Amino acid sequence: MIEKQEQQRVMTYLSLFNEMDKHFDTLLKMDSFLPYNDKLKHIINGNYPISRFVRLFQNDLKYFWELRNHISHGMKIHEMLYAIPTEQAIEKLQDFVDKIVTPPLAIEFFRKEVESVQISFSVLDLLAKFKETHYSSMPVYDGTKFLGVITERGLWRWMSEQLLQGNFVKLQSLKVRELPIYTTKNDYVFVSANINIYEADEIFTKRRKGWIGLGVMFITQNGSSNEEIIGMVTSEDVALIDDFIV
């Protein structure tokens, strides 16, 4: 017979698995039966909020399903259990359920007051901002209009070129408007506050795979450059996302 403690672990595991499985049905808008592994394939190949996560951990998710089957089939044979989940297995499944059912938003991790510069600022002001914030990309505005970004690397490259060409610039009088302002999709992207952490990671990953790269991701309420920036994710922050996912 099943011991009470073992029974409790079994019921907890099955409840967690069913919660995750039902979430897959809701996500896929299923109104008819679809095998669990097929659900995973649909999510992996689709563009769902958790597609990135499921793609990375599909083997773990399949194992959860296999263990669930062993438990369920065993319970049908004279109430005998041939597979009993450990506490570690339940904790791992709970972690997956939390990350799948309620994927955290990127803004929860990367909300911050983002510093910027006006084109009327002096280059000395810009250098002070870079030193103070440790940004690699600084958003540039003309009043309330977003113009693009100045990158720390691009700034030093431009200054080196000026010196090599014999143009000894006077930093005291040089203005931001005279510097190269980058406006391509390689340099920045705007996303909405509704983007989750997996989707943010996917954007950086796709850029890396395409040998394009991405300097910085700005978060606004609706993903428009006309709105106030309420968060920022840099390429250096991707390691923090990977730590959370794993």
**Spacing of C-alpha 196 from chain mean position:** 6
**Spacing of C-alpha 44 from chain mean position:** 16
pLDDT, tens digit, 9 for 90 and up, residues 146-169: 999 999 988 988 888 877 877 766
pLDDT, tens digit, 9 for 90 and up, residues 102-126: 888 999 999 999 999 999 999 999 9
Place of tokens 């297995």: 89
Q: State residue 76's pLDDT score.
A: 61
pLDDT at 203 over 80: yes
Query: 87-101 vs 4-28: helix axis angle to the nearest 10?
Result: 20
CA dihedral 101, 106, 201, 26 (to 10 degrees): 20
pLDDT at 210 over 60: no
**Spacing of C-alpha 7 from chain mean position:** 37
More confident residue, 141 or 164: 141
- Is the distance from CB of 10 to CB of 84 less than 8 angstroms? yes
- Is the distance from CB of 246 to CB of 218 less than 8 angstroms? no
Q: State residue 15's pLDDT score.
A: 96
Mean pLDDT value of segment 54-74? 91
More confident residue, 244 or 148: 148
pLDDT band at 211 (very low <50, low <70, confident <90, very high): low
- The percent of residues in the chain predicted with pLDDT above 70, rounded, is 89
Burial of 43 (0-12, 13-18, 19+ CB in 10 A): buried
> Which tokens sit at 211?
């040998």
- The percent of residues in the chain predicted with pLDDT above 90, rounded, is 56
Could you give the CA distance from residue 152 to residue 137 in angstroms, rounded to a whole number?
6
Q: State residue 2's pLDDT score.
A: 55
Phi-psi region of 79 (alpha: psi -120 to 50; beta: other; left: phi over 0): left
The DSSP bridge pattern shows strands 137-142 and 117-118 to be parallel
Q: Which CATH number fits domain 108-245: 3.40.718.10, 3.40.50.180, 3.10.580.10, 3.30.720.110?
A: 3.10.580.10
> Which tokens sit at 159?
């200054």
Could you give the CA distance from residue 73 to residue 159 in angstroms, rounded to a whole number?
71
pLDDT, tens digit, 9 for 90 and up, residues 80-108: 677 889 999 999 999 999 999 988 899 99
Could you give the CA distance from residue 31 to residue 148 in angstroms, rounded to a whole number?
46
Give me the chain's average pLDDT, please.
87
Domains of the chain, by residue range, sit at 4-103, 108-245
Q: State residue 212's pLDDT score.
A: 63
Sheet strand arrangement including 216-220: 188-192, 216-220, 231-234
187 CB-side CA count, 13 A: 17
Question: pTM above 0.85?
Answer: no
Q: What angle (nearest 5°) sits at the alpha carbon of residue 96, between those of residues 95 and 98?
A: 65
